[in-house]
A and B are shown apart, each in its own frame.
Chain A
Amino acid sequence: MNKRRTTWEWPVIIVVGAFFIVPMLAMTRFAMQRVPMSLLGRKTILSRWTIRGLMNTISDDKFQPAFLLSVRLGVVTVLVVLALLLPTVLWLHLRAVQWKMVAEVVSLLAYVVPPIALVVGVSGAYRDTVPWIVSSNYGLVPLYVILCLPFAYRTLDVGFAALDLHTLVNASRSLGASWQQTFRKVLIPNLWTAILTTSFLAFAVVMGEFAISSLLLKRTLPTYMVEAQGREPQGAMGVALLLLVLTTVLFMVLGRIQKKSPTSSSQEIRITP
């Protein structure tokens, strides 16, 4: 059986692929064509394509702050996630092996408490004692970190497991490197793929997160998009499309990096919990 005969595979891929592509095309058309649906026909399909709607929205004075807020939240969330998890997972793999199961279960708990329940709980618990968490924009960060915990923990866990951790650390330390140097020069370079994957994913999640920011009345990109949908539907649609396309490109780049990485062996580092 050298050459696999593919019979049913391509039809399935095309049909399911169409299911995903058609809405994207519809988005594009909606965002960029100024022809009302009732007039749309074969003759009008190519007329009046413009990016004016999209440009209007981008230059709208409410777009930029919302976009920047989401980006900032994304960056801060990524940093906090890495700062919290890298040392933790390292320690779990290096010494505290018997705690791994507990830590893993704990990481999945974020999936047990849906965003709405989380917001409700956090608000109820801390609204009076630590009002910052519901009033400040950056109060979203801890919640976002919790949201990212399941896949972030898993990705880093897998990344560490792929290393021969004890050997690397022992080798580095026996050659005279301090813990810091070992971390910086030996561990992080080998964990680069896992770190990038975690970061890209966390960033994407924050850029698209709606439930928590909407409930806490924050003006992030997704809440903006929903609000703008009423005012400038074409622009809002255009922004959504742009977000989808750019994130897909980002992830494809990530995919290429994963393939080339020497430590990823034969697996793609997966991105689900």
Chain B
Amino acid sequence: MSQLEFAHVTKKYGDLEALSAFTLSIQKGELISILGPSGCGKTTALRVAAGFEKFDAGRLIMNGHNIEPVPPQKRNMGMVFQSYSLFPHLTVAENIGFGLSIRKMDKKKRASVVSEMLDLVRLVDVGHRYPHQLSGGQQQRVALARALAIEPTVLLLDEPLSALDAKVRVEVREEIRSLQKRTGTTTLFVTHDQDEALTISDRVCVMSNGVIQQVGTPQEVYDNPSTAFVATFIGETNAVVIGGHAVLVRPEHTRVVSDAEPNSFRGIVQSFSFAGPLKTVVVRISVDESLVRATMTNTVGSDWTIGQEIGVIFDHVLRLAD
């Protein structure tokens, strides 16, 4: 059932539409990512949900109620920011218990919830420390604990991993996913990183310039992109013009064969690289003189030489909705 629903929400800044008839229905217990480049409106959508931005048209419904007039402090949503989430003057335990003390939970109960949360994010024994004494990854885990402590209806994550080191990013995102599954919290996750979105989400909503491009499971969005934007933003794509039409093909569906092979496109090897389990060849294809990439597993074939004439076969072409 729908927990949070955006119905044709439009938000303008002057003439610019940050959100254009944004329609999305978020199911209870799911983790849905809003994915897109900077400025696409994903953060705006999140802030509209939180109540930090007003919108010009459309409706925002939570559990069947219109929450547009509800102020942010009463929406019972937990939010984690990209950085500087934690209150610097409070200890970790006080930070986590903050929402609880606002809700006037008594001290004992608070302490037990806080320690439960610390367990959940695997940061036991850190409760007495201050934020500046923790690493970035630890801080975000505490921020997560703080948001979850109030048992929010919806958890809002605003690019929570962007400020972290690459290795820490992977650890924390796994943790977010496992926490989310364990608690069953409905989660809205905003990011510009497709790896993050594809690996942990139940569904992905791809956005560009305020407009939703596609909503679907990670598999759907990858295998069957509905627009050229989605096809090129997610994963890699070769774009070739054949007979006046633009054709989109994934590198893993692009095969390099001998140039004597019938029904193949002629091309010349530009470069190739080896990256462990995969090999990549870049070919300048003669039909439109564009460059295409072909990737294959390491077991396939022998190596090539630069300048070698070969043939290219497209095993599977992406068919867009439009």
Contacts and interface: CB of A to CB of B under 8 A. Distances in A.
Q: In the complex, is A directly touching B at CB under 8 Å?
A: yes
Interface of A: 1-2
B54 interface: yes
B52 interface: yes
3 contacts: A1-B52, A2-B53, A2-B54
Contacts of A2: 53-54
A2 B54 CA distance: 8
Contacts of A1: 52
Interface in B32-69: 52-54
Interface string B62-105: 00000000000000000000000000000000000000000000
Nearest to A3: B54
A229 B193 CA distance: 71
Contacts of B53: 2
Contacts of B54: 2
A2 B44 CA distance: 12
B196 to A, nearest CB: 28
A15 B52 CA distance: 32
A5 to B, nearest CB: 13
A1 B53 CA distance: 6
Nearest to A1: B52
A129 to B, nearest CB: 50
A1 B48 CA distance: 10
A4 to B, nearest CB: 13
A2 B56 CA distance: 12
B148 to A, nearest CB: 25
Contacts of B52: 1
B114 to A, nearest CB: 29
A2 B12 CA distance: 12
A1 B51 CA distance: 8
A1 B52 CA distance: 6
A2 B53 CA distance: 7
Nearest to B71: A1
A261 B13 CA distance: 29
B19 to A, nearest CB: 14
A158 B54 CA distance: 39
A59 B177 CA distance: 80
Nearest to B52: A1
A3 to B, nearest CB: 9
B56 to A, nearest CB: 11
A98 to B, nearest CB: 20
A1 B72 CA distance: 10
A1 B73 CA distance: 12
A1 to B, nearest CB: 6
A260 to B, nearest CB: 25
B253 to A, nearest CB: 44
B132 to A, nearest CB: 17
A66 to B, nearest CB: 50
A2 B52 CA distance: 8
A2 B48 CA distance: 11
A100 B241 CA distance: 64
A2 B55 CA distance: 10
B278 to A, nearest CB: 35
Nearest to B51: A1
B79 to A, nearest CB: 14
A60 B54 CA distance: 66
A266 to B, nearest CB: 14
B69 to A, nearest CB: 14
Nearest to B53: A2
B59 to A, nearest CB: 19
B28 to A, nearest CB: 28
Nearest to B72: A1
B229 to A, nearest CB: 28
B155 to A, nearest CB: 21
B109 to A, nearest CB: 32
A1 B54 CA distance: 7
3 shortest interchain CB distances as A-B pairs: A1-B52, A2-B54, A2-B53
A94 B148 CA distance: 44
Nearest to B13: A2
A69 to B, nearest CB: 49
